[in-house]
Structure formats: structure tokens, C-alpha cells
């Protein structure tokens, strides 16, 4: 139902794990089409549901009542209708895929899983317009199939082809449902991608757009789960099958949306603030003998920010002390041997971690002071000693 772009390794691995139990059944225009093996369970379930309903003959098309059909006919019709629905899902995904191609994005694969399908694109769309077009293409195809089936339905009913009418009705309803459900504005549903494209266009920030659309996806998933539970327990409802299905789809969607949101936040966390340790600094007047006797045993750092009233004055590197004879330790103060403040010795908390790493490689003291807007010391970074927040 939803199509999903190529994400970075981390998310890709977990999604791959989820979809790894699959077989390749066809190549359509060079695109591998794979089945998740659990999809067969849904196939059988769908055939069974349609067959049971048709043989009981409880189906109404407007004021027209479909006569009950024989058991064998019902099962054959179940298979035909389910195949029709399956081809509808495939058409939906192919529509995403072809639109992706026309936007210059190659298609990795199409996977049919228990909750629908997935057209996996090799890269992210490069602009909101491409994203919008690719997202809308799927529901548009479903909507078209739904409307065409419905238009064909009326003359079929009038001509008395009741069995063909039943198939057309189910195809029409199935495709319209597919279109509508996928347009719910929660990422990674198609509607969520449309939302993301709109937010992306407005703000120019794809990460924030993805995060917001993902949160909407989590909300919609939560509603599906609550609604499903309600359908099962509400006394006047008691629709177990629909209820459980709604919960399952909700859980599936929540998991997908959550991993997207988390992934985006993970990328936001790659800044100095998240890796720095709490600031510890020494005063300019501190004697080197004191530093070595009382500070160093407690604070194993390769360098120390030198501050006075929280303001950074310089950096004292232990490396630099090697040149200082031991007998001069109690005569020398931090200010005498520190390296005076220079841009290569400090970063802002919002600086990218990668940039900080590069700086530490080249600045000769393998560490950095982290300095806030008003020049106050707020943290400390040391090469190879990053504090990592748990995810």
C-alpha cells in the first residue's frame, strides 16, 4: 500500500529483516516483484471470506440482491476476486514505480506483504514535486480502477450477470478503499508522503517535514489500534475480524512510522551537544604542580579548558607540559603554558560532530572546548571519548 524510499543503512537493515522472508515471482519491466510468504496466508483468508459470503448469498448491490451460488462456484469466485484485488495492489505499486522512473529514480523492487505492497525506490526524491507525484500516483491508479469497475458494474447488473457484478463490486470497493486508506496523512502511507512533500516545500527542511509526517503516521496508527480494539469489545459491534485486522495494520504502521521518526531524530542528534561531556575547567592562576597532584588524578583529560568566571581563556594541553622541567611546576601557572584561545580550540554546541572530529585531528590538542553564544564554557570534547546517548 505504501511505498517507501531507500533509507540509510540502519533503517534499511531492520526493514530488510522484516521483509526477508520473500520470494521473487516475476520481473515486470525489469522490476523484481517479490512476495512475502505471509502474503499467501492473507490470500487464502481472502478467498475463504469471499467464498463464504457468496455462498450465503447475503450480498446486496444497491437494491439488487445477489442469489446464493454453489460452493464450488463460490470458491472459484473467491480465487478470481482475490487475484483481481492482488493485481489491483500490484497496479498501485507499479504506478508508484513508473512515476518514480519518470522522475529519474530507479526501482529496487516491489514487495507484496500481508498489508498490501511496497515499491522500494533506490533514492529519495530530490524535490517536493517529485515526492508528491510519486506518492499520488499509487492512490490515483487505485481510484481509477475503482471507478472503472463501478462504471462497468451498473450495466452488468442490468444485464443480469450477477456473478460478474459481484466481482466488479468487490474490486470497485477494494480499490476505492485502497485509495482512501493510503491517502491518510501519516507517513509512510502515501498521504503522509503528500503531507511531507507539502511541508518540505513550505519549510525547505526535509528532515523536519519527515519527522512531522512520521508523527502523524504514529497518530493514525494509534487511532487504528484503538478503533480495532473498540470493534472487538464494543457490545453492539463485535466485529472480531475487522477489529483484529485494524489492530494489526495499526501496529505495522506504527512500527514503520516510529522507525522513520527515530531515524530522523538520530540524524539530528549528530551534533556536538549530544556527544560532549560536562565542562570541567581550571583557573588561569592554577599552579601546574597543583594540576598534576590534585586535578589530574581526578580528571583524566588530554587537555583542560582554562576559564575565568566561566569565560574561556585558553586550552592547556598535557602534551605541552612535557617540555616544562619538573622543578618549574610549582612556579608556573596555567596561563603561562596554555594555548591562548583561537578558533581551532572551540566549537559551538550545535556544530556538526563530523566537523568537530576534523578540527580535533588538526588542532594539535586532540580536544575541543564547547562554547556557548556568550563565550561561556558549556562542554568539552575529547578525541575518541564521545559520550553517546542511548537510543
Chain residues binding Zn ion by CB under 5 A are: 3, 138, 182, 190
Q: Give the Cβ contact number of residue 131 at 10 Å.
A: 23
Give the torsion sign (CA, 125, 131, 135, 141): negative
For residues 59 and 189, which CB has a smaller minimum distance to Zn ion in the complex? 189
Q: How far is the CB of 178 from Zn ion (least distance, A)?
A: 8
Q: How far is the CB of 256 from Zn ion (least distance, A)?
A: 13
For residues 105 and 291, which CB has a smaller minimum distance to Zn ion in the complex? 105
Residue with cell 505495522: 252
Q: How far is the CB of 85 from Zn ion (least distance, A)?
A: 15
DSSP 283: -
Nearest to 315 by CA among 327, 324, 303: 303
Cα angle 162-165-167, degrees, rounded to a multiple of 5: 115
Q: How far is the CB of 113 from Zn ion (least distance, A)?
A: 12
Nearest to 7 by CA among 158, 118, 151, 98: 118
Q: How far is the CB of 118 from Zn ion (least distance, A)?
A: 8
For residues 109 and 190, which CB has a smaller minimum distance to Zn ion in the complex? 190
Residue with cell 549530544: 274
Partnered with residue 4 across adjacent β-strands are 120
Residue sitting closest to Zn ion (CB) = 138
For residues 172 and 182, which CB has a smaller minimum distance to Zn ion in the complex? 182
Give the torsion sign (CA, 191, 194, 196, 202): negative
Q: How far is the CB of 224 from Zn ion (least distance, A)?
A: 17
For residues 36 and 190, which CB has a smaller minimum distance to Zn ion in the complex? 190
Q: How many alpha carbons lie under 13 Å from residue 184 in its C-beta half-sphere?
A: 24
Q: How far is the CB of 116 from Zn ion (least distance, A)?
A: 8
DSSP 293: I
For residues 193 and 313, which CB has a smaller minimum distance to Zn ion in the complex? 193
How far is residue 139's CA from residue 98's CA, in Å, rounded to a whole number?
Answer: 13
* Element containing residue 313 per DSSP (H, E): strand 311-317
For residues 213 and 291, which CB has a smaller minimum distance to Zn ion in the complex? 213
**Which of helix, strand or coil describes residue 299?**
coil
Q: How far is the CB of 115 from Zn ion (least distance, A)?
A: 11
**Alpha carbon of residue 69 to chain centroid:** 46
How far is residue 100's CA from residue 108's CA, in Å, rounded to a whole number?
Answer: 11
For residues 189 and 369, which CB has a smaller minimum distance to Zn ion in the complex? 189
Cβ-based neighbours of 356, under 8 Å, separated by 6 or more: 272, 275, 347, 368, 381
Q: How far is the CB of 125 from Zn ion (least distance, A)?
A: 14
Distances (CA, A) of 61 to 66, 67, 92, 257: 7, 11, 25, 37
For residues 143 and 304, which CB has a smaller minimum distance to Zn ion in the complex? 143
Cβ(325)–Cβ(280) below 8 Å: no
Amino acid at each position: 500500500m505504501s511505498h517507501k524510499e531507500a533509507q540509510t543503512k540502519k533503517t534499511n537493515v531492520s526493514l530488510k529483516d522484516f521483509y526477508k522472508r520473500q520470494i521473487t515471482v516475476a520481473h515486470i519491466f525489469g522490476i523484481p516483484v517479490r512476495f512475502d510468504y505471509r502474503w499467501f496466508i492473507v490470500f487464502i483468508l481472502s478467498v475463504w471470506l469471499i467464498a463464504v459470503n457468496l455462498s450465503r448469498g447475503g450480498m446486496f448491490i444497491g437494491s439488487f440482491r445477489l442469489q446464493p451460488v454453489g460452493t464450488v462456484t463460490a470458491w472459484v469466485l473467491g480465487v478470481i476476486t482475490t487475484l483481481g484485488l492482488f493485481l489491483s495492489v500490484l497496479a498501485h505499486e507499479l504506478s508508484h514505480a513508473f512515476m518514480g522512473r519518470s522522475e529519474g529514480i530507479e526501482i529496487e523492487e516491489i514487495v507484496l506483504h500481508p498489508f498490501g505492497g511496497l515499491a522500494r525506490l533506490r533514492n529519495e526524491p530530490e524535490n517536493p514535486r517529485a515526492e508528491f507525484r510519486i506518492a499520488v500516483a499509487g492512490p490515483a491508479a487505485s481510484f481509477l480502477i475503482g471507478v472503472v469497475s463501478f462504471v462497468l458494474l451498473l450495466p452488468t447488473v442490468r444485464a443480469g450477470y450477477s456473478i460478474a457484478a459481484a466481482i466488479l463490486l468487490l474490486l470497485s470497493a477494494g480499490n476505492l478503499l485502497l485509495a482512501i486508506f493510503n491517502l491518510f496523512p501519516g507517513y509512510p502511507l502515501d498521504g503522509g508522503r503528500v503531507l511531507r512533500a507539502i511541508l518540505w516545500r513550505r519549510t525547505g527542511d526535509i528532515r523536519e517535514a519527515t519527522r512531522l509526517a512520521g508523527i502523524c503516521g504514529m497518530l493514525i496508527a494509534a487511532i487504528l489500534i484503538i478503533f480495532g480494539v473498540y470493534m472487538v469489545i464494543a457490545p453492539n459491534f463485535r466485529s472480531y475480524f475487522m477489529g483484529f485486522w485494524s489492530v494489526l495494520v495499526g501496529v505495522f504502521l506504527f512500527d514503520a512510522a516510529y522507525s522513520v521518526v527515530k531515524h530522523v531524530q538520530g540524524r539530528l542528534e549528530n551534533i556536538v551537544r549530544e556527544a560532549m561531556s560536562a565542562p570541567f575547567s581550571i583557573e588561569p592562576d592554577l599552579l601546574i604542580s597543583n594540576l598534576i597532584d590534585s586535578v589530574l588524578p581526578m580528571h583524566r583529560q588530554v587537555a583542560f579548558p582554562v576559564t575565568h568566571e566561566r569565560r574561556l581563556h585558553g586550552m592547556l594541553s598535557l602534551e605541552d607540559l612535557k617540555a616544562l622541567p619538573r622543578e618549574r611546576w610549582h612556579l608556573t601557572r596555567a596561563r603561562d603554558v596554555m594555548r591562548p584561545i583561537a578558533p581551532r580550540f572551540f566549537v559551538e554546541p550545535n556544530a556538526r560532530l563530523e566537523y568537530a572530529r576534523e578540527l580535533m585531528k588538526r588542532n594539535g590538542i586532540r580536544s575541543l572546548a564547547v562554547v556557548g553564544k556568550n563565550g561561556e564554557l558549556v562542554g568539552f570534547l575529547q578525541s575518541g571519548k564521545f559520550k553517546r546517548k542511548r537510543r
